[in-house]
Amino acid sequence: MRNKYNKIAVVGAGAWGTALAQVAAKAGREVTLWAREAEVVESVNTVHENSLFLPGIALDPALRATGDLAEVADADAILMVTPAQHMRRVLETLAPEVAAEKPVVLCAKGVEQSTNYLLTEVLAEAMPQARAAVLSGPSFAAEVAKGLPTAVTLACEDEDVAEALAHAIGLPTFRPYYSADLIGAEIGGAVKNVLAIACGIVEGKKFGDSARAALTTRGFAELARLGISMGARTETLMGLSGLGDLILTCNSPKSRNMSLGMALGEGKTLEEVMGARNSVSEGVHSATAVVALARKYDIEMPIAEAVAAIVTGKAKVDEAIATLLARPFRSEG
């Protein structure tokens, strides 16, 4: 079982994709990393560093990068790490070359904005022959790439496949806990990005630790309501890919979504923040889709609604905060 998936392809060479490729190489797998940017391919292959997205971290010399998407199709398993809003296009391009039942592990966190689909739903349409899996959990790319201890959820409806994938990429310092709950693994990663923007705004406004703790807790209640309504298991939402990821993302400026919220809370515009970055803050794109899902399942998600209003320009930060603070008192349950 340990060598069932020896050839691993990683599609997407941002910080997280590069970190996962590093993990798989350290686990002894034969790894190919696909990058859209020619300079990333050259940097990885010549100086063994992703100087654009993960500078200063030495990569395993065995890790090979390519700019040819067709080269990843014959891998035993494919890790998809392209941003959520670009996932469909890349899957559709790759689909004709991918064999039936090949594990395709979705490692991005988000909801497709144009359809309000979870990424497993996108995969089912774009590459229906694939065996879907999800990797999610509390993990900062630089820490994972450096070999610092991390634990994540790896979900697949076939738990034997999930277990085999965990053995293929697992290390003593990178511990995948396997599960059959795809929805639970996905929903935590998607919603926590939206909530992290809210927590960043709290930090940027200097509202204090008590306010951030309250918002994180009430945000988790929103996440859990949506997840359970969509069929997720409570234990998954309480685990690494739900509560664990929320705790990390809502408590560290290293989080792209929290740092974006901090900048908004300090008075910067969304355009100013996004224009200064070469990385993706998925919460901005997923906020409206999460709110649409909440309405579809007839549940309340006022924090997510406030973030969606801010990032779409329908409300100023102070207006959205005032609306939240004016909500009526009610039972916590």
- Contact (CB, 8 A) for 220 and 166: no
The conformational region for residue 327 under phi > 0 = left, psi -120 to 50 = alpha, else beta, is: beta
Which residue type does 75 have?
Answer: A
Active-site annotation holds for 192? yes
- Contact (CB, 8 A) for 110 and 190: yes
In the sheet with 7-11, reading across from the earlier edge strand, the strands are 64-66, 30-34, 7-11, 77-80, 103-106, 131-136, 150-156, 174-179
CA gap 51, 85 in Å, rounded: 24
Q: Which of 26, 102, 109, 192 is catalytic?
A: 192
> Measured between alpha carbons, how far is residue 153 from residues 112, 178, 180, 229, 236 in Å?
21, 6, 10, 20, 9
Q: Which of 270, 255, 256, 259 is nearest to 317 (CA)?
A: 270
Q: Residue 179: beta bridge partners?
A: 155
- Contact (CB, 8 A) for 172 and 162: no
Give the active site residues.
Answer: 192
